[in-house]
Amino acid sequence: MDLNLIVQRGSEKLDKPNVIKKIKDAFRLGFDVIALNVVIGANELGSKNKIPEPPQYSLVHPDLQLQTPRNRRLKILTRLTANLTDSAESHRLFQSPVAKKYDIIAVSVTQEKMFQSLCNQGEFDIVCLPLDDRLPFVVKRTQYGAATGRGLFFEIQYAPCIRDENALRNTIANCQSLMHAGKGKGIIITSGAWMPQELRGPNDAANLGFLYGLSECTIREAVFGNCKKVIMHAETRRKVDRAIVFSKPVDELPEKDKWLAEACKAPGVEEAAAKAAGSDNSQKQEGPPPKKKKKKGNC
């Protein structure tokens, strides 16, 4: 799985032929699930809230008719990555009806205060840190544990390392601090590819994991297992709704609904209650008889 194929960065959109080529190349390299990523910042998260709609690329499109064996199918998801700088932007993101249309939501932060807040609250799935640059703060174990405890995952992108040598050095150094904070747990490896030639196959991505300091077990989880968990977390987040629960006496239920009360009864409950009531009555009967009060006679 590659959950980060960038198709839009702010107002800059990747042209359609390159998007289609990137989708085809990802499938040819062995990916069965991909996510088309839209990256937004302060301009889109302003007061007017100009978050773009999710990109639509259906496999029914004639340009995406892939020659695939019967046991392989490609699933295309949508992802929104927001570069957040303050709480007002995060509030607009989490309350936006357009953002809720995306399958996966990721947040990118560069400030420690904002990072601390998002580790403990917020409805999203992936935490993105600028690993290709010098981190302005140190990720603490408590922060990392709070984020992973809520089902969030930290992302490592390898495409910036292909573009620039300095980005490679910074990514390796920053990944060491992530390993120290979380011991390799809760990490996913994605491409972050803008152009098709920046894509690499799953095995190549796994080999890059050794370069980042991951162990063999954590690499497999980062490339395969944790990406599935991200999708499951996103589906759970999107399907959970608020509800109101109220109670009502069984005697007041309509006749057509009384069967529900009977069906929901645990087996053996009535028998146990009857036995308990019978034992209480027997204990009362076996006790000593009450003493008769003496009548006072006339003197």
Least reliable range by pLDDT among 22-31, 35-44, 49-58, 265-274: 265-274
Least reliable range by pLDDT among 13-27, 69-83, 245-259: 245-259
pLDDT category, 285, cuts 50, 70, 90? low
d(CA 22, CA 198): 9
Could you read off the pLDDT of 168-212 as tens digits, one per residue? 999 999 988 888 888 888 899 999 999 888 899 888 888 888 888
Could you read off the pLDDT of 28-38 as tens digits, one per residue? 888 889 999 99
- Give the tokens for residue 171: 């990514």
The pLDDT, as a whole number, for residue 125 is: 92
pTM, two decimal places: 0.74
Higher pLDDT, 260 or 124: 124
Phi, psi dihedrals of residue 211, rounded to the nearest 5°: -65, -30
pLDDT category, 79, cuts 50, 70, 90? very high
- Give the tokens for residue 299: 């003197």
DSSP string of 54-73, one letter each residue? PP---TTSGGG-----TT--
Query: Under a CB-based contact definition with an 8 Å cutoff, are residues 119 and 92 in contact?
Result: no
Which among 35, 18, 45, 107 has a CA at the least distance from the CA of 78?
Answer: 35
- Residue whose token pair is 């009535």: 270
**Beta-carbon count within 10 A of 197 CB:** 13
Highest average pLDDT, of 62-66, 71-75, 109-113, 285-289, comes from 109-113
pLDDT category, 243, cuts 50, 70, 90? very low
Residue 74: left (phi > 0), alpha (psi -120 to 50), or beta?
beta
Which among 14, 65, 2 has a CA at the least distance from the CA of 38?
Answer: 14
> Which residues are bridge partners to 157 per DSSP?
190
Contacts 24+ apart (CB under 8 A), 95-99: 96/49, 96/51, 98/49, 98/51, 98/52, 98/53, 99/51
- Residue whose token pair is 């162990």: 215
Amino acid present at 140: K
| pLDDT exceeds 60 at position 95 | yes
Could you read off the pLDDT of 245-277 as tens digits, one per residue? 556 677 777 776 777 777 776 666 556 656 666
Tally of residues, the chain: 299
Amino acid present at 234: A
Enumerate residues 6+ apart whose C-beta is below 8 A from 117. 87, 90
DSSP code, position 50: -
- Reported in sequence order, the residue ranges of the chain that DSSP labels E, i.e. its strands, are 2-9, 12-13, 33-40, 75-84, 104-109, 126-128, 153-157, 187-190
The pLDDT, as a whole number, for residue 296 is: 57
Sign of CA dihedral 92, 115, 130, 211: negative
The pLDDT, as a whole number, for residue 215 is: 85
Q: How many Cα atoms within 13 Å fall on the side-chain side of residue 212?
A: 33
The pLDDT, as a whole number, for residue 236 is: 87
- What is the fold of 2-239? TIM Barrel (3.20.20)
pLDDT category, 48, cuts 50, 70, 90? confident
The pLDDT, as a whole number, for residue 122 is: 86
